[in-house]
Amino acid sequence: MLSACTSGAPTGSGTASAGLRPIPAAEADLEQREITIGFFPITCSSPIVNAAAMSIFEQYGLDVTLRRYTGWAELWIAFVAGEVDATQFLAPMPLAIHHGFASGQRALRLPYVTNTNGNGITVSQRLAGQMSGPGDFRGLRLGLPFDYSVHNLLARDYLVSGGLDPEEDVDLRIMRPADMVTALAVGEIDAFCLPDQFNQRAVAEGVGFIHVLTKDLWADHPCCSFAVAEDFAAQNPNVYMALLRAIGESALYVDDPEHRADTAALMSQPAYLGLPEPVLNSVLTGDFPDGTGNEHSIPDRIGFQPYPHESYGIWILNALQRWGLTGDHSFTTGAEYSRAVSEVFDSQSAGSVLSDFGGVTDERTEETVLGAPFNPQRPAEWSERL
């Protein structure tokens, strides 16, 4: 039964997997077929959702049920409680959940980031013409999706770069993302830093303009991730690798600029993201109006190369520590940071799958964040600069 499901699948035509190599025999021996994967209905989940929409999971013998969550705290708790063993998370969440930075610990592995870039800061139309840089956020109320989000960490550093103290000079509000466009429209918040679908929706509804894309603050930064509970992955090693193959293949398919418009059409269906196709299309193709009358064409507005670069984890960990989000844990040397990240980031499994598929697998020796170099071997140097 399982071999029948898996052996013929990758050679089928008209799907993302056409022409890809068959699954190695050992992996066809799945410990179980059924698995529930948690996801958040945002463009960041594209590789996971697309793998379901294009039946890529099935081609690897998996019977996947997608379970939708709309609050990150709820998803955190659901994962810790074992409601789901595999899920999308904001990129900083797996580090926090694995190491127990806040209540609710569960050991896990993060084999992939699900997307890079794909976010922005949108400001209310009431403030049109008044926002030239981060210093202009003084006294404003800024909506953020979660403490353990790159949105929070990057927005804070952006505000610092404008000479502001994010905790004193700006009213930071953690809210459910789905509520923030309305909150912006009715004046409950002045701005938000969120995935691009919300930025684009605020533009489409005439309530906000895109102030900055986060890719211009940190090029190719991680946003969301895919994580699997350690106990599940250890007990089901073949399922784990099949998930990585399916999602890796899906991510690289979606990453191809040729496939962006088709993906937008497919995922706009109610069962998946349930978003208006023009909004998804603007996000995925990078052709979009910004709400100030300007049109842009930025093909790398969002990216889907899934390799979990250690430099991503170290920047995140450093930022979490700077903002008091690592609980009782503290990290000083580059080696300490590296150890804490490599315990979570499963770059070995990711690398083995992605190199078969021709994805990016090279570690990055440096990140450039807010115009400054960040050396993952010496994270302290960067935080001292702030």
Partner 1 sequence: MSTETPPPVDSTLAAVEIPADLLAQVDDSAEAIDAGTVAAREILPQLAAAGLLDLGAPSNNSGGLVKQAAVIEALGQRSLSAAFAVWGHRMSIEYLCLAGGTYAESLLPAMRSGEVPGVSGMASAFKTYAGAGELGLRLTRDGQGRLLLSGKLPWASNLHPDAVAVTAAYGPEGEGDGDRSKLIIAVPLSAPGVQVGTRLNLLALQGTASTSVTLDNVPLSEEQVLSTDFEGFMTRCRPTFAVLQSSFCLGLAAASHRHTRANISGINEVFRQELHQLGDELEARTKQLRDYAERVATSAPPQRQEVLSLRLAVGHLALALATLEVKTVGGKGYISNSDPNRRYREATFIPVQSPSEAQLRWELAQGR
Interaction site with partner 1 (CB under 8 A) = 68-74, 76-78, 80-83, 103-104, 146, 172-176, 178-180, 182-183, 185-186, 188, 231, 270, 274
Q: Please, which residue, 178 or 380, has the CB nearer to partner 1?
A: 178
Distance CA 109, CA 180 (A): 31
Q: Please, which residue, 9 or 183, has the CB nearer to partner 1?
A: 183
Q: Please, which residue, 185 or 298, has the CB nearer to partner 1?
A: 185
For the bound state, the minimum distance from the C-beta of residue 232 to partner 1, rounded and expressed in Å, comes to 9
> Which is nearest to 140 in space by CA: 104, 186, 191, 178?
191
Q: Please, which residue, 236 or 285, has the CB nearer to partner 1?
A: 236
For the bound state, the minimum distance from the C-beta of residue 147 to partner 1, rounded and expressed in Å, comes to 8
Q: Tokens representing 245?
A: 């193959």
Q: Please, which residue, 173 or 364, has the CB nearer to partner 1?
A: 173
For the bound state, the minimum distance from the C-beta of residue 70 to partner 1, rounded and expressed in Å, comes to 5
Q: Please, which residue, 84 or 150, has the CB nearer to partner 1?
A: 84
Task: Indicate the length of the chain as a whole number.
Answer: 386
For the bound state, the minimum distance from the C-beta of residue 114 to partner 1, rounded and expressed in Å, comes to 20
- Residue reference for tokens 């009782």: 328
For the bound state, the minimum distance from the C-beta of residue 186 to partner 1, rounded and expressed in Å, comes to 5
Q: Please, which residue, 78 or 127, has the CB nearer to partner 1?
A: 78
Distance CA 217, CA 210 (A): 14
List, as one string, the DSSP characters of 312-324: HHHHHHHHHHHTT
For the bound state, the minimum distance from the C-beta of residue 182 to partner 1, rounded and expressed in Å, comes to 6
For the bound state, the minimum distance from the C-beta of residue 146 to partner 1, rounded and expressed in Å, comes to 8
For the chain, the first-to-last Cα distance in angstroms comes to 58
Distance CA 371, CA 324 (A): 24
Q: Are 305 and 109 in contact (CB under 8 A)?
A: no
What angle separates helix 260-267 from helix 277-285, to the nearest 10 degrees?
A: 150
- Residues 6+ positions from 66 with CB-CB distance below 8 Å: 36, 37, 38, 39, 48, 49, 52, 272
Q: Are 260 and 139 in contact (CB under 8 A)?
A: no
